[in-house]
């Protein structure tokens, strides 16, 4: 008896829709088992994790707030992963984007005025882009594996942020706390108008717009086409006359840029200043978002919402049931695992072959 995986002629349409749902259901089932083994009530555990955050206005707002960086980073990662360039360092590009954007109010406070915020966002995007171009250049020039270089640069970025907020950029009036000065009002992302919110900013509009634009670029432009061809058939891309190195530079540069934009929107938004820790691992979780969305930028919005739920639910379960805050990470990992497993069913037909079905009647 054995399992046979047969490649489908075309991806199954039903499975394409069913796979993310099945992945989520399997994650819930596995989660229930984990709660049981911890001696907790699985029903209550799943309730606090996945239902309770949806019932309160405060946590609904917080869900969207956390979804923004996840979605924005993941939108950029879609470009990168579709081209088979593996940027694992979005966390670092997020931080460097935040630093580059923050440098405007910190180093040039005289720019106070309507130009301040646009300049910060621009600097954030450029900073993330430049940081993403480091592993891209190393790959193109020296053939260095971008998985390793982009990941290692995350730790460089974290230490850089730590040094800046404890050293040169520390708030002189901040009682020696490791924080920058709070940004002036002109350097803050405005809250969503016409809504009774205090942490949700117009960054959500930027994020949705980014998802729509990137979706359009990928599906309707020659550049998007070159990215997709380069990712699945490098030889065909060469036949089409696309330059593989250029694609790597653009892919890592753009995904770094979106991560950087997410970084500055976070520090100039809900946080309002630089701190030693500005991200609970958004850059890594966004990898899960991108794959759960099957590398569709619009899909990233929905997937980011689901992953955001694990963050908020994790906090809720920690408070209500005394669970470790690491449970959120466990759920994210399980979700990624099942998302990838269920994807196999989209491209393969699975059949159980027993001695009887495989044999010829004789």
Q: What residues line the site for other proteins (CB under 8 A)?
A: 9-11, 220-223, 225, 228-229, 232-233, 235-236, 238-241, 358-362
48 vs 106: CA distance, rounded Å: 40
Minimum distance from residue 130 beta carbon to other proteins (Å): 24
Tokens of 275: 């701190």
Give 33 or 236: the residue with its C-beta nearer to other proteins: 236
80 vs 338: CA distance, rounded Å: 22
Minimum distance from residue 78 beta carbon to other proteins (Å): 17
Minimum distance from residue 232 beta carbon to other proteins (Å): 6
Minimum distance from residue 196 beta carbon to other proteins (Å): 40
Give 337 or 348: the residue with its C-beta nearer to other proteins: 348
Closest C-alpha among 89, 85, 116 to residue 101: 116
DSSP-derived 3-state class of residue 349: strand
The C-alpha torsion from 38 through 39 and 42 to 43, rounded to 10°, is: -150
Give 205 or 222: the residue with its C-beta nearer to other proteins: 222
Minimum distance from residue 293 beta carbon to other proteins (Å): 18
Minimum distance from residue 294 beta carbon to other proteins (Å): 13
Q: Which residue has the tokens 């984007």?
A: 97
Closest C-alpha among 95, 65, 59 to residue 275: 95
Do residues 300 and 74 make contact, with C-beta atoms less than 8 angstroms apart? yes
Helix (H) or strand (E) holding 352: strand 348-353
Give 245 or 324: the residue with its C-beta nearer to other proteins: 245
Give 4 or 112: the residue with its C-beta nearer to other proteins: 4
Give 242 or 284: the residue with its C-beta nearer to other proteins: 242
Torsion sign over Cα 322, 324, 325, 328: negative
Minimum distance from residue 354 beta carbon to other proteins (Å): 12
Q: Which residue has the tokens 């044999």?
A: 359
Minimum distance from residue 325 beta carbon to other proteins (Å): 41
Minimum distance from residue 11 beta carbon to other proteins (Å): 8
Q: Which residue has the tokens 């060469």?
A: 238
Give 47 or 223: the residue with its C-beta nearer to other proteins: 223
DSSP-derived 3-state class of residue 166: helix
254: CB partners within 8 A, 6+ apart: 76, 79, 80, 129, 132
Give 220 or 326: the residue with its C-beta nearer to other proteins: 220
Do residues 259 and 93 make contact, with C-beta atoms less than 8 angstroms apart? yes
Give 47 or 348: the residue with its C-beta nearer to other proteins: 348
337 vs 17: CA distance, rounded Å: 17
Tokens of 335: 């979700």
């Amino acid at each position: 008896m054995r399992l046979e995986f047969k490649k489908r002629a075309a991806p199954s349409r039903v499975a394409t829709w069913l796979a993310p749902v099945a992945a989520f259901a399997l994650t819930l089932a596995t989660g229930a088992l984990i709660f049981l083994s911890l001696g907790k009530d699985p029903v209550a555990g799943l309730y606090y994790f996945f239902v309770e955050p949806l019932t309160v206005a405060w946590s609904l707002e917080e869900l969207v707030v956390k979804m923004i960086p996840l979605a924005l980073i993941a939108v950029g990662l879609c470009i990168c992963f579709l081209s088979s360039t593996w940027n694992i360092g979005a966390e670092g590009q997020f931080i460097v984007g935040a630093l580059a954007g923050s440098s405007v109010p910190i180093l040039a406070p005289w720019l106070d005025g309507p130009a301040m915020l646009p300049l910060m966002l621009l600097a954030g995007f450029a900073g993330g882009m430049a940081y993403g171009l480091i592993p891209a250049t190393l790959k193109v020039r020296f053939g260095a594996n971008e998985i390793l270089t982009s990941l290692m640069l995350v730790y460089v970025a974290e230490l850089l942020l730590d040094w800046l907020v404890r050293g040169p950029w520390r708030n002189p009036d901040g009682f020696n706390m490791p924080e920058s000065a709070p940004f002036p009002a002109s350097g803050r992302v405005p809250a969503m108008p016409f809504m009774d919110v205090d942490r949700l900013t117009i960054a959500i509009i930027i994020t949705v717009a980014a998802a729509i634009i990137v979706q359009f670029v990928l599906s309707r432009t020659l550049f998007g086409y070159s990215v997709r061809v380069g990712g699945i058939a490098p030889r065909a891309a060469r036949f089409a006359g696309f330059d593989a190195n250029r694609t790597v530079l653009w892919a890592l540069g753009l995904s770094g840029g979106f991560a950087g934009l997410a970084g500055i929107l976070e520090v100039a938004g809900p946080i309002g200043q630089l701190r030693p820790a500005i991200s609970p691992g958004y850059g890594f979780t966004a990898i899960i978002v991108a794959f759960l969305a099957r590398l569709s930028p619009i899909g990233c919005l929905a997937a980011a919402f689901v992953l955001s739920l694990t963050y908020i639910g994790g906090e809720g379960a920690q408070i209500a049931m005394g669970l470790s805050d690491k449970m959120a990470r466990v759920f994210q990992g399980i979700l990624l695992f099942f998302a990838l497993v269920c994807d196999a069913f989209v491209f393969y037909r699975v059949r159980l072959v027993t001695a009887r079905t495989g044999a010829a009647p004789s």
